Amino acid sequence: MSATVLVDAGGANLGSVRYALERLGAEVRVSRNPEEIATAERVILPGVGAAASGMARLRERDLIGVLRGLTQPLLGICLGMQLLYDGSEEGDVECLGLIPGTVRKLAASPATVGSPTIRVPHMGWNTLRFSQDDPLLEGIADGAHVYFVHSYAAPVDERTLATCEHGSTFSAVVRSGNRYGAQFHPERSSTLGMRLLANFLTITA
């Protein structure tokens, strides 16, 4: 059994996530093998890009069924988090259906008196606001700054652990049972991002 498997779905952040985990001393394997993913102690689904192409890659590699069947801890990062939801407005695509809800496009807006321009994609450092305590966020303070790159975002609901605001408020960290998601890039978020990854490595089924 591999302790932690990174799903090789072609995401551009695959290498940087692996490097971050190895710096934490984790035993990590990158795999597109359904059996290896199914038997891992925990699974991470990274991703960058569009929902439709992300789901197409999972389908081509015969990974949709195995990801839907996982009972061990699963962490989606950036696009990987969005793919955990029922669907995405981006291409009106059906996603994995592991977390209820639809991912929707962030709204851009011009500058007005007293308000800055809201640009999409949302790119750069922004603030986490905690909605509820969870072991995934242990050691990370409310108000922490982390690094985002995205144009679509998940709704705020009872599964939201932390929010962020960019024009509107969206879910930045979520949990539904053993399924977790981080919209920001922990591998690019300095010590706070490393802490989130370290926390995930301690979570067991």
Q: So which residues are the catalytic ones?
A: 78, 185, 187
- Cα–Cα dist 167/107, whole Å: 7
* Residue in the block written with tokens 């011009």: 110
Lookup: tokens for 76: 């989606």
Q: Decide: 75 and 180 in contact? Cβ < 8 Å.
A: yes
- In 3D space, the residue among 180, 187, 185 whose CA is nearest the CA of residue 19 turns out to be 187
Could you report how far apart the first and last alpha carbons of the chain are, in Å? Answer: 14
- Cα–Cα dist 55/140, whole Å: 31
Exposure of 189 in the CB half-sphere (CA atoms within 13 A): 28
* CB proximity list for 22: less than 8 A, separation 6 or greater: 28
Longest dimension (CA), the chain: 57
Q: Decide: 120 and 168 in contact? Cβ < 8 Å.
A: no
- What are residue 31's DSSP bridge partners? 7
Lookup: tokens for 161: 């652990």
